[in-house]
A and B are shown apart, each in its own frame.
Chain A
């Protein structure tokens, strides 16, 4: 079993090591997102055309962009928008999903059927297209992308949580609480939900990683955070024109997006190994 869960050609990913990498790395990234703007060596919005498109070096460790702004400083400032809004999106989608799932699970057959078919309709539209449409309709801004992504992502959570809720509701202790006269609302809040959230934590942690990519994608396409705010997706878009002459302008934020997504992905995996008793040794 263990050999199946952990690929042998990747000895690095033995479970304890995964924990050792994933948790500190996640902590570091969250910390950067929180304090990023204060530890930036330069003002991320200081335009200096004399310093435009400088290659990475002593003065500007990761180089400067077309307006002469320090890329490292902009990365640190943008970490907050990117990482924190991704967390906000994931938490928002999870909360909406839980509420919808709880309504479906408590509401009887007809309510359940209607709610879940609405979920199916949402799920049938590719997430990126749906988010792009909603964000464009709301007008390009960071707030719009957050709302758009919550709209695109809640059905997946609702479906997952509903399945787990139904399983928990069939357990003996829930039945037993019901025979003691516990009314449905309290039953859901005190007995069913607390026992159902493990798989949700894993899904949420894994989703943060995807949301980081989606958010950057929306910014890249121009419906996200607007210039001059430092946003990783927008920074990649800015650097696109100079890819052949000043590769670092687009590459550095691109790598930051990739690295952050990988770290949060590892975090989700580590959490899954810990919370899922069928995995790990």
Chain B
């Protein structure tokens, strides 16, 4: 299968600090990939860097979109990619819509920007809202965002993002602000549309429950680096990296007693300003050996995936 988006050696520097350090990630047509990690691991910065949303941030490495290099493109060219080729939806739908503009206009705007006539754009907006399960979509084009609930707003956001039939959808914690039932609905909608239109989805999240239900593949980030990547089935069957194991162990489970203490990953995430030498995770790793404190591990292929850990090489960690 061909890659729609091929990220290679992506680096993001903010004010002299390296937030993302050499990330590799492939997104194939119609594939759903989850990028997980704790707050500050660089997952959101990765998403923003792909669309170059922050002009003050310096982005390096290579991002190939359908074979076209995005890094180094002038802002004007990047703008053509935004929305029409790579779309993005944000965490909080309640603040992501312009409060003074009608729903229809906001959904139709990406089309209008690309020269589609008003009537045709509005018609397509109504169709897209309808597909996303907004009731009486055609009548509600004239409504304002405050007349919609959070879940409906997220559908409006998705409609605006998907109306130009992009090849890639980046969803940055798209369901964090929604209640669980609505989360499920929204994710199902994304899944359906992505399947029907062959859209590749990059889901940024820290919710492993969502990952398990939604993604085909998962990449785990720690301190700006990818430490593990695998198919969802393989990852949930048994992560290779100690950090992945820790994350999975700290998810609450229905098959355990409520009185049982949840496992946690001890310590706090490494700050970009004080990243430990060697493996950035070693101060929090129970199994760390001497080599972890001095050498940075590289990604090794294991089974269907990859992991960056010395213990795997040493055979000290079973996978």
Contact = CB atoms under 8 A, between A and B. Distances in A.
Nearest to A179: B88
Contact of B79 (A173, A175, A183, A194): A183
16 contacts: A172-B95, A173-B95, A173-B99, A174-B98, A178-B82, A179-B90, A179-B161, A180-B113, A180-B160, A180-B161, A181-B80, A181-B81, A182-B113, A186-B113, A190-B98, A195-B98
Given A181-B84, A194-B100, 20 more contacts: A108-B55, A173-B95, A174-B98, A175-B90, A176-B157, A178-B53, A179-B82, A179-B87, A179-B90, A179-B161, A180-B87, A180-B109, A180-B161, A181-B79, A181-B82, A181-B113, A182-B113, A191-B98, A195-B99, A195-B100
Given A181-B84, A181-B113, A176 B99 contact: no
Interface of B: 51, 53, 55, 79-84, 87-90, 92, 95-101, 109-110, 113, 157, 160-161
Contacts of B51: 179
A183 B101 CA distance: 17
Contacts of B97: 173, 176
A177 interface: yes
Contacts of B110: 180-181
A172 B96 contact: yes
Contacts, number: 66
Counting from the closest, the 4 A-B pairs by CB-CB distance are A181-B83, A180-B83, A181-B82, A172-B95
A182 B98 contact: no
Nearest to A193: B100
Contacts of A180: 82-83, 87, 109-110, 113, 160-161
Given A179-B82, A181-B83, A172 B90 contact: yes
A131 to B, nearest CB: 35
A238 to B, nearest CB: 49
Nearest to B82: A181
B33 to A, nearest CB: 19
A171 interface: yes
Residue among A177, A179, A186, A195 with the highest chain B CB neighbour number at 10 A:
A179
A182 B113 CA distance: 7
B129 to A, nearest CB: 15
Contacts of B98: 173-174, 177, 190-191, 194-195
Interface in A232-262: none
A178 B78 CA distance: 11
Residue among B51, B53, B87, B101 with the highest chain A CB neighbour number at 10 A:
B101
A176 B170 CA distance: 12
